[in-house]
Amino acid sequence: MLASIWLQPVAEHREQLRELIAALAAEHGTVPFEPHLTVCGGADLDPARWDGAADWLRHHRPLPIRARRTGISYSTEVSFRAMVIDVENTPDMRSFRDEISRRTGAAIIAAPHISLLYSLDERGQRVGWAADEVRLRAIAAECTARLAATEFSLDDPVVVAPDGEWANVGSWRVVRHLT
């Protein structure tokens, strides 16, 4: 199944990030999404193994995980990393992601980060400025100035799936809570 497992920021950080993501999407002609850190995912996420991950979480409860911001970066090549908050890959973060990946059969796709802006429009097409490094550098500086938080508490692991392809950002839905 094409899906991902996310950790979500809690409390005031969720709202602050939700507002920033929505504002950036409106300002830059893209689609807003819920704030999250992708734990693992891909086409190999096996729904038959979700109960095992949920049981492990119930019995070991290694959450919440603290994610310390190390910077804000951008990509002119990867639409899903157009603008991200880079977070420290602590031993707790690594072991959590490794264990959930192992229990679900899903891949760890990228270094831990919290996405802020994708370079995809409502049709799933890359926007015209996607490869404009000057514009992305300016957006990164703006995000650094707008985002006061330097540490985030992550909890509420969920399984998220698109309707069709991942580029259909507006279709992303939570299909399972793992706690």
Q: Are 168 and 162 in contact (CB under 8 A)?
A: yes
Cα distance between residue 10 and residue 169, in whole Å = 22
Cα distance between residue 79 and residue 73, in whole Å = 13
Q: Are 101 and 108 in contact (CB under 8 A)?
A: yes
pLDDT digits (tens, 9 = 90+) for 65-100: 999 999 999 999 999 999 999 999 999 999 999 999
Q: Work out the pLDDT band at 179, boundaries 50, 70, 90.
A: confident
pLDDT digits (tens, 9 = 90+) for 97-142: 999 999 999 999 999 999 999 999 999 999 999 999 999 999 999 9
Q: Is the dihedral of CA 100, 69, 111, 21 positive or negative?
A: positive
Q: Work out the pLDDT band at 169, boundaries 50, 70, 90.
A: very high
pLDDT digits (tens, 9 = 90+) for 7-46: 999 989 999 999 999 999 999 999 999 999 999 998 877 8
Cα distance between residue 53 and residue 57, in whole Å = 6
* 3-state SS, residue 42: strand
User: Which residues are registered as beta bridge partners of 116?
Assistant: none
pTM greater than the 0.85 cutoff: yes
Q: How far is CA 131 from CA 43, 76, 120, 122, 155, in A?
A: 27, 4, 12, 18, 33
What is the domain count for the chain?
1
Query: Which among 165, 141, 159 is positioned nearest to 34, based on CA atoms?
Result: 159
pLDDT at 44: 72
Residue 65 is classified by DSSP as: E
Domain that holds residue 20: 3-177
CATH of the domain at 35: 3.90.1140.10
Q: Is the dihedral of CA 98, 103, 107, 109 positive or negative?
A: negative
Q: Is the dihedral of CA 158, 164, 169, 171 positive or negative?
A: negative
